[in-house]
Amino acid sequence: MDALLLLLRWMHILGVVVLVGGLCFSRFALLPALADTEEDSREKLQERIRRKWLPWVIIAITFLLVSGLTNFLLFNSTVKSQGWGDGEWMKQTSYHAIFGVKFLLALVVFYFASGLVGRGSGTAWIRSDRARWLGVTLGLAVAIIMLSGWLRNLHTGPNQSSGSELGVALSAESVPNDAAEPDRYQGPEAGSAFREQVTTDVPDESTEATGLNK
């Protein structure tokens, strides 16, 4: 299971890197550079780039959909089978609602990203103002990345290294981490409920300084 989760994570991150990296490069380097080119050679160049880039966009979207949906289904079944928050964890944390918004935004990003490298007359309006729609797509992608970080934080908690960055001495007994708590995700107290319970054991001084209890 661990190997599958790792594979899914690699797929998801690679998909994000290719798709969002390509959008970023197109908006801030390629488009301004092409603007200084003569119209005839610009159109030829754009057509060549379109043909070369299209397979990458298709692969990235496939990676994101396959890894994202599988990850979501696996996570749902873990939460249910382990009874996180007495079966109320998803509701307590609004995980499904945040995921729903992320998924809808991702579909919009996929539509624009495909339209920008497509040829169909239905998406010609996107290509007629590339700068604007590339900007909009990138903005949506940034929002998706923020929502994804939020989703992840709901069950992994704040970064464990933040205490030491603040100069607070955190011992293995006082802070939950994988080495100190190998069963972190195994029991009914996994997820946020588990975190709340463990952080109440952290000495007051460290807790206040790290904000782990907030």
CB-based contact 104:143 (threshold 8 Å):
no
Single residue of 31, 54, 56, 71 touching ligand HEM by CB under 6 A: 71
Report how far apart, in Å, the C-alpha atoms of 158 and of each of 51, 155, 197, 204 are: 43, 9, 15, 17
Q: Which of residues 115-174 bind ligand HEM (CB under 6 A)?
A: 141, 144-145, 148, 151-152
The least CB distance from residue 177 to ligand HEM, in Å, is 17
Query: Which residue lies nearer to ligand HEM by CB, 29 or 145?
Result: 145
Q: Map residues 87-116 to x or -, x wherever contact with ligand HEM holds by CB under 6 A.
A: ----------------x--x--x-------
d(CA 41, CA 37): 7
Nearer to ligand HEM, 16 or 198 (CB): 16
Segment contacting ligand HEM by CB under 6 A, of 36-44, 48-56, 69-77, 172-180? 69-77
Integer angstrom CA distances of residue 69 from 13, 45, 63, 103: 14, 36, 10, 10
What is the spatial distance between Cα 165 and Cα 177, in angstroms, rounded to a whole number? 16
CB of 205 to ligand HEM, least distance (A): 31
Please give the helix or strand (H or E) that residue 5 lies within, else none. helix 2-25
CB proximity list for 169: less than 8 A, separation 6 or greater = 206
Contacts to ligand HEM by CB under 6 A: 9, 12-13, 16, 19-20, 64-65, 68-69, 71-72, 75, 103, 106, 109, 141, 144-145, 148, 151-152
